[in-house]
Amino acid sequence: MTKFSRRDVLLGAAPFAIAPLCKLALPGDAQLASARAPMTHRGHEHAVLGHAAMIGADVPAPGGPHELDRLLVPPPVLPHRPGRLREYDVVAVDRELEVASGVTFAAWTYNGTVPGPVIRATEDDRLRVKFTNGGSHPHTIHFHGIHPSNMDGVFEIVAPGQSFTYDFQARPYGLHLYHCHTTPLKKHIHKGLYGAFIVDPPKPRKPAQELVMVMNGYDTDGDGENNFYSVNGLAFYYAKYPIRVRRSETVRIYLANLTEFDLINSFHLHGEFFRYYPTGSTDQFEYTDTVMLCQGQRGIIEIDFHNAGQFMFHAHQSEFTELGWMGFFDVVD
C-alpha cells in the first residue's frame, strides 16, 4: 500500500493514493476531474464537499452492508437475577484489516475485529471471560468497573499461546470499557485491543432501539498521528450504509471513546437534540446535540427523533469527519 500521512490526505500531497476518498460527493465528470487534477488546496475543498453531502453506495467505505452488525447491535438485555453466570470467550488475534478504502492496518484484535465484541451483563451477574492470547505479543484484558485486584488485567500478563479466565461480579451498572493493559499501553490500545462493556441496571431501562458506537482512529503510517477515524472500525462506513431507526422508538446509543494520539473526540447529531447520561450510571442527563469525550470517557445517548428523514452524525472536529468519522441515521415512521 502507498504510504501517506494525515497532512497528505487533507492537503492533497498524495493524490493517487487518496483518489477514491476525493470522489465523495462529486457526480460524473467532476469525479474524474477530481481524481486526475493536482490536489492542492482545491483538493481540500473536495473533502469539505464530501463532509457536507456524501451518502450511499458511491461512498468509498470498505465492507459489506452487514459487516458491522455484530458491533453495532449489542447482545440482548437480561432481567436482574443475582448470581447468574454470563460467559464469554475472547481471543487475541493479529489481523490485517482494510480500515478505509484501499488502506490496510496491521491490527491486534479481540476476536478478529476492531473494536472487539460487545460484552454485556446485568448488575450482580457473575461474569466469566476466558481470554486466550493467539497473538504474537503478551496481552491482557483490563475491565473498567469494580472487581478484585487479581482480575484487573494489569499483573496477570498472558503470553502468546496462554490463557487466563477473568471471573468477577459485574458492577456497577453503566457503560464501561475493556482494553489491553500491557506496556507499551499506547501501542496496545491503538493497535485495536479494546471494546464496549455494558452492565445493565437491576431495574431495566425503558425499551429502545439499542446501538453501540466505539470511536477510534488509525495511524496507518506510524508517525504518531491518526490518518483515519471511525466509529466501530471502518472509515465512512455509516455514510455508505446509513443506520435505519424508527421515529416512534427511542434510539439508545452506548458511546465510548478509545481514540489514541488525540486528546478528545466527539459526537454531534444534526437536526435533533438528545439526552446524554455520562457513564450511564445515574438518571442525570444533559440535553444537547454535541458531546466531547477524552480517551476512556463514555456515556449513553437517548434520541427521540421528531422528524423522519436522513440525519447526519459525526465528530465535531471537522478534520476527523473528513477522515472517516461520519454517518447518517435513516429515520423512518
Instruction: Provide the pairing of β-strand 290-294 with 298-303.
Output: unpaired
pLDDT tens for 202-247 read: 999 999 999 999 999 999 999 999 999 999 999 999 999 999 999 9
H-helix or E-strand spanning residue 319: helix 318-322
Residue type for 211, please? Answer: L
Q: For the residues 13-35, what does the mean pLDDT come to?
A: 38
Q: For the residues 70-80, what does the mean pLDDT come to?
A: 97
Percentage of the chain modeled with pLDDT above 90: 83
Q: Are 310 and 331 in contact (CB under 8 A)?
A: yes
Q: Which residues contact 212 (CB under 8 A, 6 or more apart)?
A: 71, 72, 73, 74, 118, 196, 198, 232, 253, 254
| Superfamily covering domain 69-200 | Cupredoxins -  blue copper proteins (2.60.40.420)
Given this model, what pLDDT does residue 54 score? 87
Given this model, what pLDDT does residue 133 score? 98
Mean pLDDT taken over the chain: 88
Q: For the residues 19-37, what does the mean pLDDT come to?
A: 37
* The overall pTM is greater than 0.85: yes
User: What band does 39 get if pLDDT is binned at 50, 70 and 90?
Assistant: very low
**Category of 99 on φ-ψ map: left (φ > 0), alpha (ψ -120 to 50) or beta:** alpha
Q: Are 233 and 113 in contact (CB under 8 A)?
A: yes
Does residue 53 carry a pLDDT above 80? no
CA distance 247 to 6: 37
Among 41-55, 152-166, 294-308, the range scoring the smallest mean pLDDT is 41-55
pLDDT tens for 121-172 read: 999 999 999 999 999 999 999 999 999 999 999 999 999 999 999 999 999 9
Cell of residue 212, nine digits: 453501540
Boundaries of every domain in the chain = 6-53, 69-200, 209-332
For residues 16 and 12, the model is more confident at 12
pLDDT tens for 252-282 read: 999 999 999 999 999 999 999 999 999 999 9
Q: Are 252 and 285 in contact (CB under 8 A)?
A: no
Given this model, what pLDDT does residue 100 score? 96
> Is 209-332 CATH 3.40.50.12170?
no
Given this model, what pLDDT does residue 278 score? 98
Given this model, what pLDDT does residue 27 score? 36
Does residue 18 carry a pLDDT above 90? no
Q: Which candidate, 270, 304, 271, 306, places its Cα nearest to that of 285?
A: 304
Among 19-23, 91-95, 154-158, the range scoring the smallest mean pLDDT is 19-23
Do the first three CATH levels of 69-200 and 209-332 match, i.e. the same topology?
Answer: yes
**Radius of gyration from C-alpha coordinates of the chain:** 20
Q: Is the peptide bond before 172 cis (omega within 30 degrees of 0)?
A: yes
Task: Find cell 425503558 and name the residue.
Answer: 206
Given this model, what pLDDT does residue 314 score? 97
Cell of residue 109, nine digits: 484484535
Does residue 41 carry a pLDDT above 60? no
Given this model, what pLDDT does residue 260 score? 96
Does residue 37 carry a pLDDT above 70? no
Q: How far is CA 274 from the centre of its chain?
A: 19
Task: Find cell 453531502 and name the residue.
Answer: 53
DSSP letter (8 states) at residue 47: H
Given this model, what pLDDT does residue 226 score? 97
Does residue 15 carry a pLDDT above 60? no
Does residue 50 carry a pLDDT above 80? no
